[in-house]
């Protein structure tokens, strides 16, 4: 047998075995700990590669007759088409949202049941693996608008079945105090300004002014996500997200005023950008 074909055949065989073991590990993780691929299409893609590598290996390593080769190629084709059918059914049932952070250090994963609208937020587990953390409080209708406010803060703006608008915030870090709980809304006292927006934090809540419009948010209308962001709501609808900038320092444990910046991001279907605010009056 040609030495080149022999080497290539064993390499293909090795690749198919490695991918097969990797898929087996994934199935164990999924069944035992509920770990999934961030993008489930990867499962069908890797299975297809297993079939292709194994088929090429058998064709190169075995001295098959013409009928034997045709039979082998026929079986491989059936398996590959089956993966295509299963992938189509999966995409028909589940809508997946995967968005990498601007610095590519983390990513957001949402998986939505297309029939019920139930949407689950997944945390990155290791590499391509994720684990479900929580179900969004409102069933999602249609697509979500994904926007990274900072490298470790991402907003998903979406509509529920009744047409109301909501924001879910994924956070992937802290501002130096991640080991203990931090009340985000209390960490930036004072008056903050940026563009035509003025935000004032008081003991009764937050006051947001844009031009001549003034909105007041009591603590009951402020929903916290992680230790980096809050969403301001009215009548159970999201209106704004407030996110701590990467340069933000709260100075909660000393008399100095907070430093750095915070970001306001409006809950809207429009293609808007987060607005940075800096402290104007402590």
Instruction: Say which DSSP state 64 is in.
Output: -
- Tens digit of each residue's pLDDT (9 = 90 or more) over 185-216: 888 999 999 989 999 998 889 999 998 899 99
Contacts of 108 (CB under 8 A, 6+ apart): 97, 98, 99, 101, 146, 154, 156, 170
pLDDT reading at 282 higher than 80? no
pLDDT reading at 179 higher than 60: no
Mean pLDDT of the chain: 92
CA angle at 227 for the pair 225 and 232, rounded to the nearest 5°: 40
User: What pLDDT, on the 0 to 100 scale, is given for residue 146?
Assistant: 97
Please compute Rg for the chain using Cα positions: 25
Q: What percent of the chain has pLDDT over 70?
A: 98
pLDDT of residue 126: 85
Asked if residue 42 has pLDDT above 80, the reply is: yes
DSSP helix/strand/coil, 212 = coil
Residue 174's pLDDT is 84
Structural tokens at position 108: 């957001």
How much is the pLDDT for 281?
A: 79
Q: Six-digit token pair at 30? A: 């999924």
Q: Are 272 and 266 in contact (CB under 8 A)?
A: yes
Judged against a pLDDT cut of 90, whether residue 87 lies above it is answered with yes
Range of lowest pLDDT (21-25, 44-48, 177-181, 262-266): 177-181
Whole-angstrom distance, CA of residue 136 vs CA of residue 232:
16
User: For residues 274 and 277, what is the distance between their CA atoms, to the nearest angstrom?
Assistant: 10
Closest CA to 133 of 152, 120, 117, 146: 120
Q: Which burial class, exposed, middle or buried, applies to 42 when counting CB atoms under 10 A from its CB (0-12, 13-18, 19+)?
A: middle
Torsion on CA atoms 181, 184, 185, 187, rounded to nearest 10: 90
Res. 242: pLDDT tops 70? yes
Token reading at 114 = 């297309």
How much is the pLDDT for 252? 74
Q: Which residues lie below 8 Å from residue 226, measured CB to CB, with a gap of 6+?
A: 169, 171, 174
State whether residue 12 is helix, strand or coil.
helix
Distances (CA, A) of 225 to 79, 181, 228: 44, 11, 7
**Lookup: tokens for 136:** 């969004």
Q: For residue 176, is pLDDT > 80? A: no
Give the mean model confidence (pLDDT) for residues 174-181: 66
For residue 254, what pLDDT is reported?
76
Are 188 and 258 contacting, i.e. CB atoms less than 8 angstroms apart? yes
pLDDT in tens, 116-170: 989 999 999 888 999 999 999 999 998 999 999 999 999 999 999 999 999 999 9
Given a cut of 90, is residue 107 above it in pLDDT?
yes
């Amino acid at each position: 047998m040609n030495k080149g074909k022999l080497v290539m055949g064993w390499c293909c065989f090795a690749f198919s075995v490695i991918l097969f073991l990797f898929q087996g590990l994934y199935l164990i993780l999924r069944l035992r700990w509920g770990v999934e691929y961030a993008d489930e299409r990867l499962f069908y893609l890797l299975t297809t590669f297993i079939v292709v590598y194994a088929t090429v290996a058998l064709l190169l390593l075995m001295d098959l007759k013409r009928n034997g080769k045709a039979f082998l190629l026929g079986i491989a084709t059936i398996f590959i088409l089956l993966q295509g059918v299963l992938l189509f059914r999966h995409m028909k049932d589940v809508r997946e949202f995967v968005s990498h952070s601007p610095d590519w250090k983390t990513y957001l994963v949402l998986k939505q049941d297309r029939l019920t609208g139930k949407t689950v937020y997944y945390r990155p587990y290791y590499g391509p693996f994720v684990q479900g953390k929580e179900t969004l409080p409102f069933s999602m209708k249609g697509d979500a608008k994904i926007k990274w406010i900072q490298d470790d803060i991402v907003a998903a703006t979406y509509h529920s079945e009744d047409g109301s608008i909501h924001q879910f915030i994924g956070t992937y870090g802290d501002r130096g105090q991640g080991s203990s709980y931090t009340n985000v809304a209390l960490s930036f006292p004072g008056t903050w300004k940026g563009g035509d927006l003025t935000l004032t934090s008081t003991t009764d809540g937050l006051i947001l002014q844009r031009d001549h419009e003034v909105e007041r948010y009591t603590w009951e209308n402020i929903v916290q996500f992680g230790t980096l962001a809050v969403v301001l709501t009215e009548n159970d609808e999201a209106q704004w997200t407030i996110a701590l900038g990467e340069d933000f320092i709260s100075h909660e444990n000393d008399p100095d005023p907070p430093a750095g910046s915070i970001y306001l991001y409006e809950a809207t279907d429009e293609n808007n950008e987060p607005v940075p605010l800096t402290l104007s009056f402590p």
